[in-house]
Amino acid sequence: MNSERTLVIVKPDGVQRRLIGEILTRIERKGYVISSMKTMKIEKALAEKHYHEHENQPFYDDLISYITSGRVVVAVVTGEGCINGLRYLMGNTDPIKAPPGTIRGDFATNVTKNLIHGSDTLENAEREIALFFREEDLDI
């Protein structure tokens, strides 16, 4: 298996609850590398591009409102099999269904405020990374 890269966002509730270190530590302990990282407040236009596939879903407006409600940490994470590995580490979107030991199983409070985003496919990872980072700012 080759090294992959994926986008991770520590969402506003993770930042507000001061869980950035805990979340990033779990990612690094799994053996993945945080190759680029920044804090920012996501503007509405960027949020709409990022979540465009959910545009016709009933939760879309709440999703956009939530992700733009406060500062986030955006990171590019690299490592062998990191897309699927990080999705497993994050746990189910619904924290009640997320197993203990996962980020959401241990810390998330509800489906909307679920602490973390991770790209779900290689194609989405590349698209999402390009939304938040310039290629020359990435180290791989």
- pLDDT tens digits, residue range 126-138? 999 999 998 888 7
Say which CATH superfamily domain 3-134 falls into. Nucleoside diphosphate kinase-like domain (3.30.70.141)
| Domain boundary assignment for the chain | 3-134
Q: Which amino acid is at 77?
A: V
Length of the chain, in residues: 140
- pLDDT band, residue 139 (cuts 50/70/90): low
- Per-residue confidence (pLDDT) for residue 88, from 0 to 100: 97
Contact between residue 117 and residue 103 where contact means Cβ atoms under 8 Å apart: no
The arithmetic mean of pLDDT across residues 55-63, rounded, is 91
pLDDT tens across 62-84, in order? 999 999 999 999 999 999 999 99
Q: Identify the residue with better confidence: 59 or 27.
A: 27
Is 117 marked active-site? yes
- Per-residue confidence (pLDDT) for residue 105, from 0 to 100: 96
DSSP codes of every residue in 93-119: SSTTTSPTTSHHHHH--SSSS-SEEE-
Q: Which of 50, 52, 54, 117 is catalytic?
A: 117
Mean pLDDT over all residues of the chain? Answer: 94
- Per-residue confidence (pLDDT) for residue 138, from 0 to 100: 78
Output the CA torsion 82→51→138→40 (10° steps).
-110
Q: How far apart are CA 72 and CA 33, in angstroms?
A: 19
